[in-house]
Amino acid sequence: MRIAYFLDEFPPFFRGGLGTYALEVAPRLAAAGHALSVYAWLSEGTVAEEVRGAITVRRPAIPDPRPLLPILLPQEVAGWPPDSQRFFAEYQFYTILSAGDLLERGAGHDLAVAHDWLAAPAGMLAAASLGIPFVLHVHSTEAGRSVGEGSPTIRALEARAAERADIVVTVSRAMQDELVSLGVPPEKIRVVYNGVDPVKYDPGRVLKADVRAFRERLGLGDDPVILFVGRLTRVKGADTLVRAFQYVLQDVPDARLVVIGVGETEDEVRHLAEMKGGGRVHLLFSVLPEEERIIAYAAADLCVFPSTYEPFGIVCTEAMAMAKPVVVGAQGTSGMREQVVPSGPGICGFHIDPYDPRDIATYITMILRDATLRETMGRNGRARVLAMFTWEGAVEATLAAYEEACKRRGG
């Protein structure tokens, strides 16, 4: 297949999990014999056009939209802060310019694929103009991200894209349920789990010297370490984890908490760490390179992700691949609930109430106090990743969805 592939995040530009997804999936689609015309966001450190084997990446230059904002923006968006207005308008230009460039070159494309609302208009325009099928990937929704209704404009874009799509691919059964509740016909939806590369995420390949150096750099010594990796946004729950940590210290006084990430709750997390962390919370407000993140996992005793909304949760998968026990939020839309087995012979972690610091602390303490349980959970978690959550499996299922979309159109 020749696939027109629209998404804002594409290496070397990362904003979140979608960039990791693109880094892993696009080359594997190409390796399976498919040609990709990728349209991504032009940002600092990227180039307007590059060829990577069977992958051609184009990043259209975006004009300054500010002179036209009063006539371009929907009424609701016109009430947003100025930077957000510009962001919205720039992405509309991105979608139109990307679709237009594809039309100029587009003969022979078999399928248009778009990821989430930012790129969905480009996929819709390309598919309609070329008369080819359209597959929409939904990694999250506006209602879920915003802990409520969110923007009516973005919700309308999401709904329109799902309506126009031949197939909607999403990342968990929890997300499938959410999409059905938002009106997407269930017969359109295909669940394809994300994955990890278990060769890269293998505890056996991490040098003990690197783990020791990481612990020394943060001043962790040989103390038990709880690790959080993720964006510092309200739904990820780092603030609740810091609140829970004060209760962990009552039972495991030598424990340490490491928080790695960036986002709008940095100040709140810092304040909570100072007030409730007993000097044992270590904050790294940065996005670590992958190899350094792997070392961080290796240095931890367990990983905690108390998200209140998590369509999949790739950090959980990474931690499991690194043979670490995981404690995860399991209310609402939670793909991590599907990843983590909380009981029985395959136990690899615990499900918690992400709104309850004491519940989080109870299960962290249980794991820290039981070395045998930690070892069992870690071993089972890695085995589960190898069986269910690899990129090879994700690509195979994704291609099946793409082929189904083409067959529906008689392609």
**Could you tell me which residues come within 8 angstroms of residue 374 by beta carbon, excluding any fewer than 6 positions away?**
301, 302, 325, 367, 368
pLDDT of residue 395: 97
Q: So what's the pLDDT on residue 253?
A: 98
Domain check: are 266 and 239 in the same one? yes
Domain hosting 337: range is 203-388
212, 183: one domain:
no
Q: Looking at the structure, do residues 382 and 395 belong to the same domain, yes or no?
A: no
In this structure, the answer to whether residues 345 and 358 fall within a common structural domain is yes
For residues 252 and 383, membership in a common domain is answered with yes
Q: In sequence order, which residues have a C-beta less than 8 Å from that of residue 395 and are 6 or more positions away? A: 25, 28, 29, 32
Residues 259 and 176 occupy one common structural domain:
no
What's the structural domain count of the chain?
2
Residue 373 DSSP symbol: H
- Cα 355 to chain centroid, rounded: 21
In order along its 411 residues, the chain shows pLDDT tens digits of: 999 999 998 888 877 778 889 999 999 999 999 999 999 999 888 899 999 999 999 999 999 999 999 998 999 999 999 999 999 999 999 999 999 999 988 778 999 999 999 999 999 999 999 999 999 999 999 988 887 678 999 999 999 999 999 999 999 999 999 999 999 999 999 999 999 999 999 999 999 999 999 999 999 999 999 999 999 999 999 999 999 999 999 999 999 999 999 999 999 999 999 999 999 999 999 989 999 999 999 999 999 999 999 999 999 999 999 999 999 999 989 999 999 999 999 999 999 999 999 999 999 999 999 999 999 999 999 999 999 999 999 999 999 999 999 998 765
Asked if 219 and 163 sit in the same domain, the reply is no
The residues near 304 (Cβ < 8 Å, ≥ 6 apart) are: 226, 227, 228, 241, 326, 327, 328, 360, 364
179 and 316, same domain (yes or no): no
Q: Which two tokens stand for residue 356?
A: 């309850």
The CATH number linked to 164 is: 3.40.50.2000
Are 14 and 115 contained in the same domain? yes
Residue 409: the pLDDT is 74
Alpha carbons 8 and 316: distance in angstroms, whole number: 24
> In this structure, are 342 and 353 located in the same domain?
yes
Q: Specify whether 269 is located in the same domain as 152.
A: no
Residue 208 and residue 164 share a domain: no
- Rounded Cα–Cα distance for residues 309 and 329 (Å): 8
CA distance 311 to 116: 13
